[in-house]
């Protein structure tokens, strides 16, 4: 059995894009783009870590007990995937002291903090790369990167950059992890934030692109030596068996779950334009049987301890908002979130989804990352969907209240037409979830023989008010259009 962090099995994550979530008045900043303005490609809107501290009570009330932060290290871009200094939290986010306060205050509330580690590439402002720009072939760090010609062209778009960069973007020079010094530098960075700041995990950006033999094995050994419960989750969008054998990552961002759940719950509402070209498959639509096949395949891929800590998101900073993908159909959000919160693995809410925050203005045009990064409208609650917020609170509380939904085995019960039902079983507790994604009501005779005995009554936990009794090895469920229920 592969060992993974126990706490993650009970976690509900909240992903925060720091520049856009909450702005404190205690962090000095320069010129900012207005908080209410459309999200810019360049420039800052001023969110910071102390702003997150000020909203921890909100997150706790929502039911969140883990936070995944997009990059926070010093960088000359608002998303901070262009790292300048791996040992300094960006001053505009409040610096290292603000991270210390965030971790301390979060831990007092039993909320974990996971940082985004961008170790495949750095930036033109990263000291070691900048030294090459200044010193040329005389630089002590020339082997930290892969130079293909001289002179380097870090800014001249008309000429090749003459160095390897992530997907050819000259502002993201790829670190040569085959170089022993560069590799050791990154290992020490990973250790530092776990040891000195007690962070609870690393989310690893484009992790599959670091192919140096033994790199991730060593990363795991050194980080886990400090804290064995450190969560190591990799951004890999596809099947990841070879990385999830217990010697590298604990989990991945589970887009292999994201795609089918959106394709099933969203159906023909899904905007092909907003998902085209992304490395997951929420389009075309699938029925309950198709969803069942996708889930059966997914649950067969990994060790059960890995499955229980997979990071299950419905959207992220790299995808369009689910509300946009579903062309503003809020039932899609509710159905997908119910499946997410009752599925094995750690559910992750992208900031603002719980209030149906805005996304892409035009759902029939290609998706641009900035459109998933609007600021959270703290000052104008008229922009909040309070019913959606209450729904999220309810289904998150349901997950926390039922151990079987977090750690129980998974049993598909019914997958016919547009109705899907499954059970989570833990010892003698069985929790049944069923959804009807159709616009028509459906009654389903769901087989439970071998799982629940005849005459046993299932009490409602969510979505209906009457108990259901097992008869002839089945339970009869009546599901209104576009709805779900949970019974125990």
**pLDDT tens digits along 183-195:** 999 999 999 999 9
pLDDT at 464: 80
Average pLDDT, the chain: 97
Q: Which two tokens stand for residue 103?
A: 């971790």
Confidence of residue 1 (pLDDT cuts 50, 70, 90): confident
Collect all residues with Cβ–Cβ distance below 8 Å to 444 and sequence separation of at least 6.
414, 416, 419, 421, 434, 476, 477, 479
pLDDT at 59: 98
From the candidates 48, 235, 315, 329, which is the catalytic residue?
A: 235
Residue 205 known to be catalytic: yes
SS3 258: helix
**What does pTM read for this prediction?**
0.97
Q: Is 90 exceeded by the pLDDT of residue 465? A: no
Confidence of residue 330 (pLDDT cuts 50, 70, 90): very high
Integer Cα distance of 126 and 33 in angstroms: 25
CB-CB contact of 93 with 18 (8 Å):
yes
Residue 10 known to be catalytic: no
pLDDT digits (tens, 9 = 90+) for 232-280: 999 999 999 999 999 999 999 999 999 999 999 999 999 999 999 999 9
pLDDT digits (tens, 9 = 90+) for 399-440: 999 999 999 999 999 999 999 999 999 998 999 999 999 999
Give the orientation angle of helix 330-341 with respect to helix 255-266, to 10 degrees. 140
pLDDT at 300: 98
pLDDT digits (tens, 9 = 90+) for 113-143: 999 999 999 999 999 999 999 999 999 999 9
Confidence of residue 223 (pLDDT cuts 50, 70, 90): very high
Integer Cα distance of 67 and 64 in angstroms: 8
Confidence of residue 216 (pLDDT cuts 50, 70, 90): very high
What number is the average pLDDT over the span 163-170?
Answer: 97
Return the percentage of the chain with pLDDT > 90, whole number: 98
Specify the DSSP element, H or E, that contains 19. Answer: helix 18-21
Give the orientation angle of helix 330-341 with respect to helix 386-401, to 10 degrees. 10
Q: Is-cis flag, bond preceding 151, omega within 30?
A: yes
Alpha carbon 132 to its chain's center: 35
From the candidates 48, 116, 205, 315, which is the catalytic residue?
A: 205
Integer Cα distance of 452 and 328 in angstroms: 39
Integer Cα distance of 94 and 109 in angstroms: 21
Terminus-to-terminus CA distance in the chain, angstroms? 29
pLDDT digits (tens, 9 = 90+) for 340-399: 999 999 999 999 999 999 999 999 999 999 999 999 999 999 999 999 999 999 999 999
Return the percentage of the chain with pLDDT > 70, whole number: 100
What number is the average pLDDT over the span 311-321?
Answer: 98
Distances (CA, A) of 173 to 164, 170, 333, 346: 6, 6, 38, 33
Domains and CATH numbers, the chain: 6-120+177-401 (3.20.20.80), 123-175 (3.90.400.10), 408-487 (2.60.40.1180)
pLDDT at 76: 96
What number is the average pLDDT over the span 446-458?
Answer: 96
Integer Cα distance of 118 and 314 in angstroms: 22
């Amino acid at each position: 059995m592969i060992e993974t962090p126990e706490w993650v099995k009970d976690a509900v994550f909240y992903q925060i894009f720091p520049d856009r979530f909450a702005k404190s008045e205690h962090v000095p900043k320069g010129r900012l783009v207005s908080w209410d303005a459309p999200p810019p490609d360049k420039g800052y809107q001023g969110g910071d870590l102390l702003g997150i501290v000020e909203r921890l009570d909100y997150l706790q009330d929502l039911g969140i007990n883990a936070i995944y932060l997009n990059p926070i290290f010093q960088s000359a871009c608002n998303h901070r995937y262009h790292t300048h200094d791996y040992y300094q939290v960006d001053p505009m986010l409040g610096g290292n002291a603000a991270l210390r306060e965030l971790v301390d205050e979060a831990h007092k509330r039993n909320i974990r903090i996971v940082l985004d580690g961008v170790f495949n590439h750095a930036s033109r402002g990263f000291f070691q790369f900048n030294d090459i720009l200044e010193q040329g072939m005389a630089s002590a760090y020339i082997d930290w990167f892969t130079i293909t010609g001289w002179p380097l062209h870090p800014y001249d778009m008309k000429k090749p950059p003459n160095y390897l960069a992530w997907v050819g973007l000259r502002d993201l020079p790829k670190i040569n992890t085959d170089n022993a010094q560069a590799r050791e530098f990154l290992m020490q960075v990973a250790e530092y934030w776990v040891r000195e700041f007690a962070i609870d995990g690393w989310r690893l950006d484009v992790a599959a692109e670091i192919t140096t033999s033994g790199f991730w094995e060593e990363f795991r050994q050194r980080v886990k030596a400090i804290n064995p419960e450190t969560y190591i989750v990799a951004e890999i969008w596809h099947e990841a068996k070879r990385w999830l054998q217990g010697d590298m990552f604990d989990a991945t961002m589970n887009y292999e779950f994201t795609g089918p759940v959106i394709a099933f719950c969203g159906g023909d509402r899904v905007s092909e334009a907003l998902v085209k070209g992304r490395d997951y498959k929420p389009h075309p639509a699938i029925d309950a049987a198709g969803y069942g096949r996708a889930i059966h395949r997914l649950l067969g891929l990994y060790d059960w301890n890995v499955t229980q800590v997979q990071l299950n998101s419905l959207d992220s900073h790299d995808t369009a908002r689910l509300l946009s993908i579903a062309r503003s159909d809020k039932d899609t959000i509710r159905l997908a979130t119910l499946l997410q919160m009752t599925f094995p693995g750690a559910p992750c809410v992208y900031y603002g989804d719980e209030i149906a925050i805005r996304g892409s203005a035009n759902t029939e045009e290609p998706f641009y990352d900035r459109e998933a990064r609007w600021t959270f409208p703290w000052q104008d609650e008229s922009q909040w969907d309070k019913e959606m917020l209450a729904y999220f609170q309810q289904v998150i509380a349901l997950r926390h209240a039922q151990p079987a939904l977090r750690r129980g085995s998974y049993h598909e019960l019914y997958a016919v037409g547009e109705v899907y039902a499954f059970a989570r079983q833990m010892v003698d507790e069985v929790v049944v979830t069923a959804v009807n994604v159709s616009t028509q009501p459906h009654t389903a005779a769901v087989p439970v023989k071998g799982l629940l005995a005849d005459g046993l009554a299932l009490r409602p936990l969510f979505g209906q008010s009457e108990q259901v009794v097992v008869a002839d090895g089945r339970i009869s469920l009546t599901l209104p259009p576009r709805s779900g229920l949970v019974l125990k």
